[in-house]
Structure 1
């Protein structure tokens, strides 16, 4: 499975990066798949433009999109979060959401996508994966036994590794509670370096 952020690219540039990596399908995980600044990346546009560029498209933002709140995580059970290592509130809320049946059901379909005849790429808006909820989806996929590679540009791809502040619980799910006292998950460059991955020069 690949991941990619569309950023400020053109549709043609996005499709070129995907095809160069061998990804023939985009799984859009934006919860709200529209952009005033980049209208060519709206769901309605991509449903037509990407297939014309030999890249299939599907939207799964309802089940896998970010911008979650604790209200979205009712299925995770009552009580405090199981993921206190996240200092970034939005990532913490998404980690809580990952404990819900809705997320788990959606995730089960993704490793099959990667193993099929058409390798897929999870797509969101943010170019840098460590600033996006794709990093949490990637953790969940890695725990499930799927190899995940982040596409950054035409020269840079990074294989995903489980975050050092995560462990795998008895149900085979990531829990972010390791080293809570020293967690620096909101400081993304340092976090990436500590996990053995160096962010690209910008």
Structure 2
């Protein structure tokens, strides 16, 4: 499998839908991710190994730092509309990104990017149906030249 980017600093947008925890960790290693930022509102999963505690341990075992930012999560009652492209759902999430907590979290992600490759994690494999796509857009406002890889 070829590496998607050869840059030392990049943003990887990844969804674990259809992947096992091992497949996810292997892909993050392939992308040379140093830090995974979990942007799920609630970092729980029915899939083994993909809830916060076990995922953080698996990442730590391969040298990847785990950070969870609840402030960058999409409210549960906004997800279905978001997945279906409803403009009001996207607008609502943009409002979430405008909160002080989300602004602070975004600033920390920008700081993490100075150290190398950072991954944003959520469930949806297709970034266009996931709120992390708007997180990427918000980060690009501060770092317009950052390379983004969707995996």
Question: What band does the TM-score fall into relative to the shorter chain?
Answer: 0.7 to 0.9
What residue in structure 1 maps to residue 96 of structure 2? 97
Structure 2 CA distance, aligned partners of 1:148 and 1:29?
19
| Cα pair distance change 1:69/1:107, threshold 3 Å | farther
Of the two, which has the highest radius of gyration?
Answer: 1
Structure 2 CA distance, aligned partners of 1:115 and 1:6?
25
Structure 2 CA distance, aligned partners of 1:55 and 1:104?
24
Taking only aligned residues, the RMSD between alpha carbons, in angstroms, comes to 2.0
Q: How does 1:129-168 map to 2 (within 5 A)?
A: 129-146=127-144, 147-152=146-151
What residue in structure 2 maps to residue 109 of structure 1? 108
What residue in structure 2 maps to residue 39 of structure 1? 48
What residue in structure 1 maps to residue 5 of structure 2? none
Moved >6 Å (runs of 4+): none
Calculate the TM-score normalised by the size of structure 2: 0.78
Structure 2 CA distance, aligned partners of 1:112 and 1:93?
26
What residue in structure 2 maps to residue 58 of structure 1? 67
Is the CA contact 1:141–1:148 (under 8 Å) kept in the aligned structure 2?
Answer: no
Aligned length, in residue pairs: 134
The CA deviation at 1:125 is 0.9
| Cα pair distance change 1:120/1:114, threshold 3 Å | same
Higher helix share: 2
Q: Deviations over 1:17-69 (max 9, x none)?
A: 11211212211110111112x13201121121221233221211x21111267
The gaps in structure 1 that reach 5 residues or longer are 71-85, 153-202
The gaps in structure 2 that reach 5 residues or longer are 1-10, 79-84
Higher RCO (C-alpha 8 Å, min separation 6)? 2
